[in-house]
Each structure stands twice: as C-alpha cells, then as structure tokens.
Amino acid sequence: MTVPIEAVVHDLCRYLEDHSTEPLRLSDLAVRAGYSAAHLQKAFTALVGSSPKEYQKALRLRRLKEGLRQGESPLPAVFGAGFGSPSRVYEDLPRTLGMTPGQYRKGAAELVIRWAATTTPLGLMVMGATALGLCFLQFGDSEDELQTRLREEFPQARLEPMSAESKPLFTRWEAALRDFFEGKASLEALPLDLRGTAFQIAVWRFLQSVPTGRTTTYAEVARAVGHPRAVRAVASACARNCIALAVPCHRVIRGDGSLAGYRWGIERKGRLLDREKALLG
C-alpha cells in the first residue's frame, strides 16, 4: 500500500532536519520516499513552499545562525552548518541574513537603523529604516515596547533616533501614512528593505499588489506564488511580516470570508479592512 504523499513529505522534513549537514541528492530522497524524483519534488514544493534542496538550505542557514549567535567564528560556523563552499555562501548570505556572517555574529552591530514614532488612527507606530528603505513598521502601545521589538528583530544593530538629516525622509513617510489612512494614496511608493526567505518575500511582494479595499485568501496567495498547497506556509509568511500596511497582510482572509489572525490584533485587522472598504465605496 502506497503511503500518502502528505505523510511522506512530513517524514522527509524530519529526515532533512536530522541530516541537514549531509549532502543529500533528490534521487536518494526519492528512493527513500518511494516516489519518483519529479513527483516528490512537485509534491514537496506544493506542501512546504520550497523544494527539498531549498528546505535543506534553510535548515543549514538556521544552524549557521545558531552557531554565529553562540560566538562561533564565521568560517567554522559555515562548515559546521553543512555549507561546502565558503565563497558561494558569502555571496548568498547577505541576501538571506541581510548582512555578512561576520556582521550577523556581532548581532548586526554594523547595521544602522534609524527609527521614529508616529501616531495613526489605529494607534502608535514606529518606523525603522536602513539605507535601503523601511525594514520595520509596526503598531504598538508604547515607544518602549516597539523599540524592544525592533531590537529583537535586529539584535545589537545600531539603532538611532531620527536625526535632523533624515527628518525630511521620515516626514515624507509620515505624510504617506496620513494619505493612506485618508484614502488619498497607497503605500506602493515607499522603499522597503524586505528580509526573509525567498518564499516569504514572494508572498510579501504579491500582497503589495492587492489593491486597497480588496481582499484575498491564503489559498489564492499560495496559488499566485506558484505553491498552491502551501497555504500554511503563506499564513506563516504573513505572521512573520514586520512591515505593516506597506506589506498589507491584513488583506488576507480565510476562504470562508472570516478574519484570521493578525500580528497586530484581529480587531485592528477588522478596522483596517472596514476603513479601506468604506474609503473605496
């Protein structure tokens, strides 16, 4: 009797987690699973949101992060995580870590993030930005709470309050937020510094295309990014979004039309959607 592909993929995820540092070929995984390599690749990608190779790379990246956080030197940490070519790793990691391994080991000590607080109709927000654009835009009850969250996202990065030099930029962003809440403009023009996995960024980019006043479902997003069965992975990507409004994860609802969870509160999500629909009308 053939084992259901869902169970096979679940077992394979556990196997990859236990052997993430080993060189594993798709053909070997297919033999273990009892399916053809092509079928396994397609099913795994649909259910998990990434191929077995990408999944293993993400596991290695997690292991590398843990090693760097624990004080390992970059090169031993790279090899210990299972990466075989340091030069290739150093080319790729700035896109996934958002910094070099050396910077990550120092807790992003060389990354400068400037922040400022602003008030909105739905509560206090703090904006944080790197030289590339907004990397943090979140609701909270106090500046202290939001600074703590910013610190957790970028431990030991150099956090600087808005300076006189950067004030015109933040003033424009604050004006963009006001226009957004008044229904005068979208936030599409805001420069963003998105930091996540390839799948997460694909989800966030798609969400930026959902118009104000419209909604989409987790299943529709999964299909749009090419992984129709990765509904849970889409929900996880929404939960990991740390740039509210500009990456409008509040516009994602369940297939039955009901609201699902929202990082900044289900009540705030409902108010956002009601406000956008009223403005559209």
Q: Yes or no: say if 94 and 103 are a contact pair by the CB < 8 Å rule.
A: no
How many C-beta atoms surround the C-beta of residue 77 within 10 A?
23
Going from the C-alpha of 106 to that of each of 69, 79, 158, 272, the distances in angstroms are 8, 19, 11, 38
Asked if 155 and 107 touch (Cβ cutoff 8 Å), the reply is yes
Pairing label, strands 216-217, 158-161: unpaired
Q: Is there a catalytic annotation at residue 249?
A: yes
Query: Exposed (0-12), middle (13-18) or buried (19+): which is 101, by Cβ within 10 Å?
Result: buried
Q: For tokens 């790279």, what's the residue?
A: 78
Q: How far is it, in rounded angstroms, from Cα 27 to Cα 38?
A: 9
Give the active site residue among 135, 238, 242, 249.
Answer: 249
Query: Which active-site residues does the annotation give?
Result: 249
